[in-house]
Structure formats: structure tokens, C-alpha cells
Structure 1
């Protein structure tokens, strides 16, 4: 019997997907801590087409990452949390678990 995921599990899955497939690769690609909504949308279109997933999932994931504090939003510009900058500078792998852990450390 297949069961539907709860809304929290779905939200986490969306965040993980968007972080791993869109945000972090985009940050490494442009080599900058900030990116525009347009840059996100272009990357999202490409990834959603490749992965055969809906844009809605990616959009929800983006909003969810902002709510979790991993991304900061100002107008149409997004930036990664300052604690993730060293990972970007080193071009290191930074999965969702690492990102959420770094952001939550006081």
C-alpha cells in the first residue's frame, strides 16, 4: 500500500532537491554568494526539464529554504547564509544536511 508523504516530509524533500540540484550548483557556477530570481528561474527550468519534475516543487523548495534561513531574500536577490561562504570559496560539496547544520549552529 502506497501512502502519501506528510506535508513536513514533502517540504523537506523539496528543500533537499532544490538545494542539491539548483541552488548549490548555481552558487558554484556563478561563484558568488548572491543570485537573482532570474538566474534561479533559468537554472530551475533546465533542472526541472532534465529531472522531469514540476516547477511548483522547485518554487516551494526555494521559499522553504528562505524560511529555514539557509537563503536570505532581499527584493529579487537571494544570498546564501554567511556560514556557507567558506564552502563556496573552497568549491566544496555542501549538501542540505551540512547547510542546515551550519546555519543552526549558534
Structure 2
């Protein structure tokens, strides 16, 4: 994991943002969605999950924080107040409790 973080610092701004998004989606957001079995989660729920993952992986919380903001910018997550929700096209994956990797997310969200 440390090696991955070192690689991030050597990458360009856009590559780092993508890595942050991938990490946050795969390690925090999607597992949290499946855990609570709901399309939305609170900021507090995200923070608790983030702290748990960061502790397990021994990484700083700054990477997941940047990743959350990046997921919002891409339209993968929507925010209203302190509540975040997944894009409506991802709801069937949640209902099926399917593996929904970042590539699938990008594909689904970008389809018109």
C-alpha cells in the first residue's frame, strides 16, 4: 500500500485523482453501500468507514477525502446536505449486491 501511495505522488494530477476515486469507491463507498443496504449514506457513516479502512491499510485520511470530492465532481455521488447518494443507474447493482467496480461505475454513469 505504501508503494501505491509513493507512486501516486509521482503521477500527474489527473492520474492521482483517478487513483483516489478508484480507491474510495472500491474500499469505502461501495462496501459501505452494501453494508448499510441503502442508496445513501451520511457524512458520519462515510467518516467512520474511512477511518476503519485507513487504520486497516495504514494510510492517511487525506487520500479518501480527496477521492470523495472527486466522486462528487464526476457525478458518481450526489450530495444534499450531509447525505450522499449513488447515481440512480447504480441502484440495480446495490439491489443485487453485485460487485460494482470503478470501470462499471464510469460506464453506467456516462451512458445517456
Both structures adopt the same fold (TM-score exceeding 0.5)? yes
2:48 to 27, 42, 45: 42
- Structure (1 or 2) with the greater helix fraction: 2
1:87 to 93, 96, 103: 93
- Counterpart of 1:65 in structure 2 is 71
Deviation at 1:45, TM superposition (A): 0.1
Task: Structure 2: state its 5+ residue gaps.
Answer: 1-6
Question: Runs of 4 or more off by more than 2 Å in structure 1?
Answer: none
Deviation at 1:41, TM superposition (A): 0.1
Tell me the TM-score normalized by structure 1: 0.97
The correspondence of residues 1-106 of structure 1 with structure 2, limited to 5 A, is: 4-106=10-112
SS in 2 for 1:40: helix
Task: Structure 1: state its 5+ residue gaps.
Answer: none
Root-mean-square deviation (Å): 1.1
Aligned partners of 1:41 and 1:94: how far apart in 2?
21
Tell me the TM-score normalized by structure 2: 0.91
Between Structure 1 and Structure 2, how many residues are aligned?
105
